[in-house]
Amino acid sequence: MEKQQNVGLIESVKVRIVHAIEGTGDVTGAMVDVVTRIVAKAIAGFGGIATSLVHAIADVIQGTIQAVMAVGGDIGAAAKGIVVGVLRGAGDAGAANLQTISQTAEAVIKTTARMSGDLGTAAKGLVAGAIEGAKELGLDVTQAASAAATGALKAAGEIGSEAGDRVRGALTGTISGVKVVLNEPFSSRSKARNHARSRRDGVEEGEPA
């Protein structure tokens, strides 16, 4: 039953986004308006339950990105619009925070990868959206940008080293006037290096094949 509800929400979002984009030609605006309304409604329906909210946001993101890819829209503008929309919708219920930004960024990168979209462009859009949304809600813009970047990097690292490099490269420097701080306590690249070093040391020490 829950899976059917998820599919229903994804398809509903997809249809609404496609119609909004085709009607206005404004990808970012379409994302913000539709996502804001759906997220706010989801929060109200779940009573602010964290796990249900995360799942709902993930479904909204999946439907949104599918719609954008279907009409050939800009994935960067879509990512930006998604973050702003999620923050506005969550803000109405007092649930807009850095964790929400990070979780949204993770879901966007994972869905973009599944749809073979440009991860670097999506990552930049996520940070730009986090900054814009933070300004609207009075959150610290540097922390918001860092939360989006960290969430994007975490998701990319789980996908693979190539995805991680692409996202990391895209987020190096300044976006929307804010210096992006990348928090990587133990990146996938470090894990790979340590793993390779351990195997090499083991062989050198006469580890049996």
Q: Is 177 domain-assigned?
A: yes
Residue 191 lies in a domain: no
List the helix and strand counts (H, then E) for the chain: 9, 2
3-state DSSP of 74-94:
CHHHHHHHHHHHHHHHHHCCC
Q: How is residue 107 written in tokens? A: 């879901």
Element (DSSP H or E) covering residue 9: helix 2-24
Are residues 85 and 75 in contact, defined by beta-carbon separation less than 8 angstroms?
Answer: no
Average pLDDT score over the chain: 79
The token pair that represents 122 in the structure block: 């999506």
Is residue 64 in some structural domain? Answer: yes
Domain holding 18, by residue range, is 2-184
Taking residues 160-175, report their average pLDDT.
93
Residue 190: which pLDDT band, with cuts at 50, 70 and 90?
very low
Q: How far apart are CA 195 and CA 179, in angstroms?
A: 32
Place of tokens 């990391």: 168
Number of domains in the chain: 1
Q: How confident is the model at residue 144 (pLDDT cuts 50, 70, 90)?
A: very high
Is the pLDDT assigned to residue 48 strictly greater than 70?
A: no
The predicted structure's pLDDT at residue 198: 44
Compare 101 and 8 and report the one with higher pLDDT.
Answer: 101
Any domain includes 53: yes
**Residue 54 belongs to a domain:** yes
Strand, helix or coil for residue 114: helix
Task: Quickly count: other Cβ atoms within 10 Å of residue 121's Cβ.
Answer: 18
The residue ranking higher by pLDDT, 31 or 136, is 136
Asked if residue 21 belongs to a domain, the reply is: yes
User: Is 79 inside any structural domain?
Assistant: yes
Is 208 inside any structural domain? no
